[in-house]
Amino acid sequence: MTTATARVSRHGSSTAKPSKNTRARERAVSWARRAPLLPALIFLIVVTQLPFVVTLIISFMNWNSLSPDTTGFAGFENYIQVVTDPYMLQAILTTIVETVSVVLVSLVLGLGLALLLDKKFIGRGLARTLLIAPFLIVPVAAALIWKHAILNPVYGLINGSLTWIWSLFGSDNPPQPDLLSSAPLMAIIVSLVWQWTPFMMLILLAGLQSRPMDTVEAAQMDGATPWAIFRHLTLPHLRQYLELGGLLGAIYIVQNFDATFVITSGGLGTANLPYAIYETFYYANEYGLASAAGVVVVIGTIIVATFALRTVFSLFKKEAAR
Amino acid sequence: MSTLTPAGPRSSVPAPSTPTTGSRRRGKSRMDPTRNNTAAGIAAWLLALLFAVPVLWMILTSFHSEIDAATNPPSIAADLNLDAYKEFFGATSGVSPWPSLINSATASIFSTVLVLLLAIPAAYALSIRPVKKWTDVLFFFLSTKMMPVVAAVLPLYLFAKTAGALDNIWFLVLMYTSMNLPIAVWMMRSFLAEVPVEMLEAAQIDGATLLLTLRKVIAPVAMPGIAATALICFIFSWNELLLARVLTGVVAGTAPVFLTGFVSGQGLFIAKVCAAAVVISLPVLFAGFAAQDKLVQGLSLGAVK
């Protein structure tokens, strides 16, 4: 109610001479505008920003809850350990490999699928629904299915299908790969690509369907080949959607915990930073080291996020300028 | 299928007429690619099926007996039964998944309600009656979402331990609220921004109270958006593992936590795991398909429509 009257009073005050009275009223108006925002803002600062400040403080401390006597200031010791400890270094490397490969592969697959789904064909809606399904399986459940029902070297669907296909050709000696032990990181990557390709497809499909069709039609009229249209019209238009998908995907996948936890429990060099941090504080009780590693993740994310924010902002400005 | 809005307003070519905000849809002029459509259709269908195979296999296996689920080559045509589901619900082990499912439902539903209560007023103050520097505030919300959970989880764990809030589902409700709030504010803002300015002004000239304006002008336009936001927040809370794993235990453990401790490694369990995965994914599948139209907008934090 206050805001409704406030607006009217603002209109009135614009013609009046600025006096002490109107200034006070204007302040009341701007507070009335801010009021609905404050609960959300305060809640978010308390629950997300404060804990990070605490993390920052702990990261400079020597703190293992199992040996409380040694607690104290540690300077940059924890950070030095993060970048020298083989386990942590491996975790940083794993995080980078995992994130980059999942993002790139799912972007390429998502682009291909989006281009196909942009055309009209029978049952397109149903095909699209089927393609979204992987994204709507609970991540823990998806990881369990991949580990036990699909990649299992003895009973998994992949090796079972290989046996079946080979037997069709009369061979009883089919290849039986064991991705879980020969290339465990690959197993995690495959399951993540499967889950994230629909996400990329949805964003790129939305991008494709917002193409200005008049230019494409004009190019077709002028006899441009489909490839030329794709290369010079579609791809430039899709660029910011590719960036957005890639960067948002990166931000989510850097944080992946579920797949690592379920598929390998971080064994065989597959622990990424979130998993390594979890282990460091939850099992090893090395609070200082875990916090320093957490700060390293945040720094990495900030670098990626700066680009992400810029992309979101440019899309946002376009929308706001309509 | 017209599930995706043709995002006319953001195309670089300005919409031909309609400076009025009421109808923003541009004509559905689409390229008419009559060529290659059959080939594209077949390719799309093959790939869609390939992507759906793990899901379909999960569903099929959940209806198989454990012995049929563990064969090489796979027994596709084996008899169907509900044994795996009975096992999942504790037929022989006596361990019921219901407490964890109820915990998940509590955490997801209550955090979603809290998120809406906080996000709707905030979005109102960022779109309909915007505060000064509202873009800065909006991007502050987004930046909090970009901080990995893992960087804040230790202080939260220590706080919960000190405050006696460990293994308490209501603490998890608060955590999920903060996790989803930035997304919800962004989504909601983009939905509220779709309320035509003319209608708001008309309501004001007619002397409508704020409450009446909210009910008669804003709610009808924003309702589908609010519903979609709620569904997406529900999905994210339902899926979450890391916070639940660290902050809950025996009493407040959620369904994902239950699922991670479900595989015993003894005997055959593939059908049982598939049944568990189906049951736990069902709410997400329902919510996701219900929100299908707005899924992109939500997942891209409102940047893509």
Backbone angles phi, psi at B3, to 5 degrees: -75, -25
Instruction: Give the lowest-confidence range in B35-39, B60-64, B74-78.
Output: B35-39
% of chain B at pLDDT higher than 90: 31
Mean pLDDT is lowest, of B49-58, B142-151, B175-184, for: B142-151
CA distances, B186 to each of A262, B54, B233, B257 (Å):
32, 33, 12, 29
The interface predicted TM-score of the complex, written ipTM, equals 0.82
Please enumerate in sequence order all residues whose Cβ is within 8 A of that of A257, keeping only pairs 6 or more positions apart, or say none. Answer: A274, A275, A278, B150, B241, B242
Percent of all residues in chain A with a pLDDT value above 90, rounded to a whole number: 25
Strands of A158-214 (E only): list them: none
Question: Residue A71: in which H helix or E strand, if any?
Answer: none
> Could you read off the pLDDT of A227-268 as tens digits, one per residue?
888 888 888 888 888 888 888 888 889 888 999 999 988 888
Closest residue in chain B to residue A146, using alpha carbons only: B54
Q: Kindly tell me if the per-residue pLDDT of A5 is higher than 60.
A: no
Chain B residues in contact with A204 by the CB 8 A cut-off are none
Nearest to B291 by CA among B221, B222, B220, B235: B235
Look at residues B237, B145, B153 and name the one whose alpha carbon lies nearest to residue A273: B153
pLDDT for residue B3 is more than 60: no
- Residue % of chain B over a pLDDT of 70: 86
| Cα diameter, chain A | 96
Query: What pairs with residue A286 in β-bridges?
Result: A64
User: What pLDDT does A313 receive?
Assistant: 74
- 3-class DSSP state of A42: helix
Reference A251, options A206, A293, A311; nearest CA is A311
Residue with tokens 């009559």: B34
Helix (H, G, I), strand (E, B) or coil at A72: strand
Q: Give pLDDT, residue A25.
A: 84
Q: Which pair of tokens denotes residue B129?
A: 């009656």
**What does B67-106 look like in DSSP terms, one character per residue?**
HHHS-SS--TTPPP-SHHHHHHTTTTT---SHHHHHHHHH
φ, ψ for residue B72 (rounded to 5)?
A: -140, 110
Query: For residue B152, which amino acid is it?
Result: A
What span, in angstroms and rounded, lies between the C-alpha atoms of A234 and A254?
29
Residues 59-78 of A with CB under 8 A from B: none
Does any CB of chain B come closer than 8 Å to the CB of residue A50? yes
**A33-61 per-position pLDDT tens digit:** 888 888 999 999 898 888 888 888 888 88
Contacts of B57 in chain A (CB under 8 A): 145, 149-150, 157
Q: Which of chain B's residues have a Cβ under 8 Å away from the Cβ of A207?
A: 304
All residues at 6 or more sequence positions from A214 whose CB lies less than 8 Å from its CB, including other chains: B13, B29
Measure CB to CB from residue B148 to each of A34, A258, A297 and give the nearest one: A297
Query: Dihedral angle at the C-alpha atoms of B301, B234, A103, A186, nearest 10 degrees?
Result: 170
What's residue B21's pLDDT?
39
Q: Is B102 on the interface with A (CB under 8 A)?
A: no
Distance separating alpha carbons of residues A225 and A216, to the nearest angstrom: 11
Under a CB-based contact definition with an 8 Å cutoff, are residues B279 and A126 in contact? no
Decide if B298 touches A, using CB distance below 8 A.
no
Which chain A residues are within 8 Å of B130, Cβ to Cβ?
A: 33
Find which of B21, B132, B154 to mutate to test the A interface (most A CBs within 10 Å of its CB).
Answer: B154
End-to-end CA distance of chain B, in Å? 16
**pLDDT score at B11:** 36
- Chain A residues with CB inside 8 Å of B133's CB? none
Q: Determine contact: A308 vs chain B, CB below 8 A.
A: yes
CB B69 within 8 A of CB B271: yes
pLDDT tens-place string over residues A158-186: 888 888 888 888 878 888 888 888 889 99
Query: Is A155 close to B304, i.e. CB distance below 8 A?
Result: no
Amino acid code (one letter) for A290:
A
Shortest Cα distance from B131 to chain A (angstroms)?
Answer: 6
* Residue A17, pLDDT score: 56
pLDDT of residue A14: 44
Using alpha carbons only, what angle is made at residue A38 by residues A36 and A40, rounded to the nearest 5 degrees?
95
- Does residue B248 contact residue B103 with C-beta atoms inside 8 Å? yes
Instruction: State the Cα–Cα distance between residues A102 and A250, nearest whole angstrom.
Output: 8
Residues 6+ apart with CB under 8 A from B5: B25, B293, B305
Q: Give B-chain residues touching A201 at CB under 8 angstroms.
A: none
What's chain A's average pLDDT? Answer: 84
Q: What count of CB pairs under 8 Å joins A to B? A: 360
pLDDT band at B6, cuts 50/70/90?
A: very low
- Partners of residue A160 in chain B, C-beta under 8 Å: 71-74
> Of the candidates A33, A125, A130, which has its C-beta nearest B52's C-beta?
A130
CA distance A91 to A121: 45
Q: Does B40 touch chain A (CB under 8 A)?
A: yes
Mean pLDDT, rounded, for A13-33 = 72
Tell me the residue ranges of DSSP E strands in B97-243.
none
Query: Could you read off the pLDDT of B200-238 as tens digits, one per residue?
Result: 888 888 888 888 888 888 888 888 888 888 998 999 999
Nearest by CB to B33, from A119, A129, A316: name it. A119
- The residue-averaged pLDDT of A86-97 equals 89
* CA dist list (Å): B271 to A279, B58, B95: 30, 8, 17
Question: What is the Cα–Cα distance from B271 to A144, expressed in whole angstroms?
Answer: 12
A289 in B contact zone (CB under 8 Å): no
User: Which residues in chain A have Cβ-Cβ distances shorter than 8 Å to B151?
Assistant: 52, 55, 294-295, 297-298
A136/B289 touch (CB, cutoff 8 Å), yes or no: yes
Q: For B205, list phi and psi in degrees, rounded to 5.
A: -65, -35
- pLDDT above 60 (res B68): yes
Residue A64, beta-bridge partner list: A286
CA count, 13 A, side-chain hemisphere, B21: 15
CB contact under 8 A, A39 and B142: no
What's the CA gap between B26 and B18, in Å, rounded?
Answer: 9
The neighbouring-strand residues paired with A72 are A62
Q: Structure tokens of A278?
A: 């979890």
**Are A241 and B304 a contacting pair at CB < 8 A?**
yes
Contact check, Cβ <8 Å, A131/B52: yes
Contacts of B133 (CB under 8 A, 6+ apart): none
3-state DSSP percent of chain B in helix, strand and coil, to 5: 65, 0, 35
Q: How many CA atoms lie within 13 A of B135 on its CB side?
A: 9
A320: pLDDT confidence band, cut at 50, 70 and 90? low
Least confident of A271-280, B7-16, B187-196, B276-285: B7-16
pLDDT at A23: 83
Q: Which two tokens stand for residue A237?
A: 């238009």
**CA dihedral sign, ordered A236, A238, A244, A249:** negative
What does the alpha-carbon distance between residue A163 and residue A157 come to, in Å, rounded to a whole number? 10
Give the mean pLDDT of A117-146.
91
For residue B164, what are its two tokens?
């006696």
Give the three-class secondary structure for B126. helix
* 3 state SS of B247: helix
- Determine contact: B296 vs chain A, CB below 8 A: yes
Q: Which of A39, A128, A217 sits opposite B121 (nearest CB)?
A: A39
Which is nearest to A160 in space by CA: A174, A146, A170, A147?
A: A174
Distance of CA A76 to CAs A82, A291, B8, Å? 10, 12, 52
Q: What is the pLDDT of residue A18?
A: 59
β-bridge mates for residue A73, sequence order:
A61
Q: Could you read off the pLDDT of A286-299 as tens digits, one per residue?
A: 888 889 988 988 88
